[in-house]
């Protein structure tokens, strides 16, 4: 099902136009480290901006609101989607990207994050960073005088989930009141989905094997937001319980980047957590299947599901571009 071009930027969080403008303005110069850091109004403004940018690009408009701006991209881990979508995104907005391998920076020889942040702030207009320890991103943002965007840490993946919220909104016309089931590892994706769902009043049910559930600190953050928005956060070790009546079924790899040595142990621990046709049958008949990619067919997801009619994984990948253009535009504009 193709997204109709005429799709109107609707009422994702009940934002009045003046509220939307205020939220957009409040984002200038801000970091995007965690969905938990932005208000529902700010996230809704980002989703609306992403949708507008998507439609403008599709209709052939080529404004360059970030002309002359440069984004530094630090990647301590591999990437296909994040690297390409950020680089294309800043280019489409009129700016340019510089790819920075930490091993080639003085960072790799012991220069501190604080010094690196202060130096890069004198050259660049924004920094996107993908690394292991979330605290490194927080440290970078603390010292940088320019916006810092989290392109994935072991704890969170906010850019992915912003794109996913856009995808769900496009497919379902709303976020509030939906049920999203996450089946698998309580990892960075589970964390950002908990944060994102809670901000928009969406029920998030996470099913993980014992010992592989989400970080209690993240669950507490999500529950604090959920108390405001009416979202429900539930944790279980039963995939069927999580998926029952879900509008969205989401999964991710069982061994994330940095966990390669645990792969065999994890393959055993996650047996029974594959999203297959039988599990999908417990969700609503119109449920969509989501995966941030890269995927391991035959492990966390069966081929018939990820390559089947309920799968929206290619829309998710495309929406990385539009969502991240919105984040760059809102945080890096003059």
Piece of 78-86, 140-148, 197-205, 323-331 that binds ligand CP (CB under 6 A): 78-86
- Closest distance between ligand NVA and the C-beta of residue 160, in Å? 6
Select from 41-49, 73-81, 178-186, 221-229 the region that touches ligand CP (CB under 6 A): 73-81
Q: Which is nearer to ligand CP, 20 or 256 (CB)?
A: 256
Q: Which of 30, 54, 81, 155 binds ligand CP (CB under 6 A)?
A: 81
- 189 part of the interface to ligand NVA, by CB under 6 A: yes
The residues that are catalytic are 130, 157, 160, 252, 292, 320
Q: According to the binding rule CB under 6 A, does residue 79 interact with ligand CP?
A: yes
Which of positions 274-293 make contact with ligand NVA (CB under 6 A)? 292
Tell me which of 55, 257, 269, 282 binds ligand NVA, using CB under 6 A: 257
Lookup: tokens for 214: 């989400």
188 vs 324 by CB, closer to ligand NVA: 188
Binding residues (CB under 6 A) for ligand CP: these are 79-82, 152, 160, 292-293
Binding residues (CB under 6 A) for ligand NVA: these are 152, 187-189, 252-253, 256-257, 292
């Amino acid at each position: 099902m193709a997204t109709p071009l005429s799709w109107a930027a609707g009422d994702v969080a009940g934002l009045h136009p003046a509220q939307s403008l205020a939220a957009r303005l409040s984002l200038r110069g801000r970091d995007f480290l965690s969905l938990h850091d932005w208000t529902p109004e700010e996230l809704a403004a980002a989703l609306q901006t992403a949708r507008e940018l998507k439609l403008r690009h599709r209709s052939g408009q080529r404004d360059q609101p970030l002309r002359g701006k440069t984004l530094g991209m630090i990647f301590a881990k591999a990437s296909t989607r994040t690297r390409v979508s950020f680089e294309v995104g800043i280019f489409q907005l009129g700016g340019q990207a510089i790819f920075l391998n930490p091993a080639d920076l003085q960072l790799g020889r012991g220069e501190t994050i604080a010094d690196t942040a202060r130096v890069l702030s004198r050259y660049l207009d924004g920094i996107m960073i993908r690394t292991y320890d979330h605290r490194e991103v927080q440290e970078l943002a603390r010292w940088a005088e320019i916006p810092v965007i989290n392109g994935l840490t072991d704890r969170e993946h906010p850019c992915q989930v912003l794109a996913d919220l856009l995808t769900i909104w496009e497919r379902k016309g709303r976020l509030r009141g939906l049920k999203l089931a996450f089946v698998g590892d309580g990892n960075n994706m589970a964390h950002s989905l908990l944060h994102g769902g809670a901000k928009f009043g969406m029920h998030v049910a996470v099913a993980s094997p014992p010992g592989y559930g989400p970080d209690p600190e993240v669950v507490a953050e999500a529950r604090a937001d959920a108390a405001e928005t009416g979202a429900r956060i539930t944790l279980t070790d039963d995939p069927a319980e999580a998926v029952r009546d879900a509008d969205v079924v989401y999964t991710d790899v069982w061994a994330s980047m940095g966990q390669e040595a645990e792969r065999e142990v994890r393959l055993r621990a996650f047996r029974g957590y594959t999203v297959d046709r039988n599990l999908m049958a417990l969700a609503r008949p119109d449920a969509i299947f989501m995966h941030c990619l890269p995927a391991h067919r035959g492990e966390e997801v069966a081929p018939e599901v990820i390559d089947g009619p309920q799968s929206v994984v290619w829309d998710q990948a495309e929406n990385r571009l539009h969502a991240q253009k919105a984040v760059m535009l809102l945080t890096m504009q003059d």
